Amino acid sequence: MLTPASDSSIAAAAALLRDGECVAFPTETVYGLGADATNARAVARIFSIKQRPSFDPLIVHVADAAAIAEFATDVPPLARALADALWPGPVTIVLPKRDVIPDIVTAGLPSVALRVPDHPVALALIRRASRPIAAPSANPFGYVSPTCAEHVESHLGGLVPLILDGGPCRVGLESTIVSFSSGMPTLLRQGGVPQEVIEDIVGPLVVLDRDGPIQAPGHLPSHYAPRVPLSVITAAAVVPVVDRHHAALLSIGPISNSAEFERVVILSPTGDLEESAANLFAAMRDLDAAGVAHIYAIAPPLRGIGRAIADRLQRAASRDKL
Ligand code: TXA
Ligand code: MG
């Protein structure tokens, strides 16, 4: 059931969580499918609802930075500095875990991913439930993440007892993930907080090579993928006219050379990267529903949140390569 977030619906959602049920809720990044992170059976339901492989660990959402000490053992000063500077916000910090977090949450890893979401509904829900909330994005595994409550309902509506509607997500892409679990701070996923902002706080990050060994199971090359095949291109001009019929062109800003495409989607009229990030996943879903045969996405500039947009487009494009 999709319900506007209010004091009473948040209280009902918190009661469901305490009873071991799953609920969907808004965060500033994407909607999450939450369960009590200390209840292994409740967390198991997340995996079955999402059809998520059990080797893919979940992020644990907490109400404030003080919770780090409850769920993590070693907290290096740089991790603390990152939390103090950017929480609540779209960055997830991976640290050695304490035993209260069941193995199913972390897929057996000795580390836990923690985040304080910057959304009043998410924070109210965590506080009301008095529990840490394990939550992946509320989409079937591998598909595009939901950035509004209707996206959740369209795929998981029959499977989740309550979807709290808090309107569209402000950031629209998942959190940036930084690991402190083994020595040097390591960037595991580009996301809502740009790499540059994180490096200003913790210094240079080790950035994992996308084509290297998979460090965290969730970092599969194919992810965030619409059903329609997608290619990342440098400019519209590289697509021959014959290939434009039945195809969509997806661009950060206004574009020339877009004649003959069946659909042209401009993510931001001014070419703004943050606005583009906020609109990207909804645009992919719309194009899936529109029935185009192919999506050509123009690569964004690799600065700020453009890096996360580029990452999501690359993974969407890898869909057929698994
Ligand atoms: O913005 C977000 O992060 C959203 C909202 C709901 O908070 N959540 C999200 O969750 O994107 P999910 O499950 O779709 O992605 C979580 C990622 C996975 O790729 C997983 O591999 C990684 O976090 N992760 C979780 N625990 C980890 C750990 N202990 N070590 C390394 N990576 C971990
Ligand atoms: Mg996800």
- Give the residue, out of 71, 92, 119, with the most ligand 1 atoms within 8 A of its beta carbon, to mutate for a pocket test: 92
Mean pLDDT of 66-95: 97
The candidate with the shortest Cα–Cα distance to 192, out of 100, 105, 119, 111, is: 119
Q: What is the pLDDT of residue 221?
A: 62
Query: Does residue 280 carry a pLDDT above 80?
Result: yes
Residue of 278 and 182 predicted with greater confidence: 278
Q: How many whole angstroms from 292 Cα to the centroid of ligand 2?
A: 24
CB 304 within 8 A of CB 273: yes
Q: What is the pLDDT of residue 218?
A: 53
Mean pLDDT of 200-206: 97
Residue 248 lies inside a defined structural domain of this protein: yes
CATH of the domain at 243: 3.40.50.11030
Q: What is the pLDDT of residue 322?
A: 44
Tell me the average pLDDT of the chain.
Answer: 94
Mean pLDDT of 188-193: 96
Determine what percent of the chain is predicted with pLDDT higher than 70. Answer: 94
Q: What is the pLDDT of residue 196?
A: 97
Q: What is the pLDDT of residue 74?
A: 87
Burial class of residue 84 in the structure, from the number of CB atoms within 10 Å of its CB (0-12 exposed, 13-18 middle, 19+ buried):
exposed
**β-sheet bridge partners, residue 264:** 249
Residue 221 lies inside a defined structural domain of this protein: no
Query: Does residue 166 carry a pLDDT above 50?
Result: yes
Sheet hosting strand 2-4, strand order edge to edge:
2-4, 163-165, 23-25, 32-36, 133-134, 59-61, 111-115, 91-96, 176-179, 186-189, 206-207
Residue 212 lies inside a defined structural domain of this protein: no
Ligand nearest to the CA of 56: 1
Are residues 274 and 190 located together in one domain of the fold? no
Q: How many whole angstroms from 321 Cα to the centroid of ligand 1?
A: 22
The candidate with the shortest Cα–Cα distance to 113, out of 170, 50, 157, 178, is: 178
Q: What is the pLDDT of residue 226?
A: 87
Range of the domain at 276: 230-321
Atom of ligand 1 nearest to the CA of 139: 14
Count of structural domains, the chain: 2
Mean pLDDT of 296-315: 96
* Helix or strand run (H / E) with residue 95: strand 91-96
Environment of ion ligand 2 (residues, CB < 5 A): 137
Beta strands in 116-223 (DSSP E): 133-134, 163-165, 176-179, 186-189, 206-207
173, 207, 241 - which closes a domain: 207
Query: Does residue 176 carry a pLDDT above 50?
Result: yes
Q: What is the pLDDT of residue 321?
A: 47
Residue 165 lies inside a defined structural domain of this protein: yes
227-271 tens-digit pLDDT: 899 999 999 999 999 999 999 999 999 998 899 999 999 999 999
Mean pLDDT of 311-317: 93
Ligand nearest to the CA of 133: 1
Query: Does residue 125 carry a pLDDT above 90?
Result: yes
Q: How many whole angstroms from 220 Cα to the centroid of ligand 2?
A: 11
Q: What is the pLDDT of residue 216?
A: 55
Distance of CA 314 to the CA centre of its chain: 15
Distance of CA 244 to the CA centre of its chain: 30
- Give the residue, out of 33, 49, 50, 177, with the most ligand 1 atoms within 8 A of its beta carbon, to mutate for a pocket test: 177
Q: Whose CA is nearest to atom 32 of ligand 1?
A: 216
Residue 110 lies inside a defined structural domain of this protein: yes
* Global pTM exceeds 0.85: yes
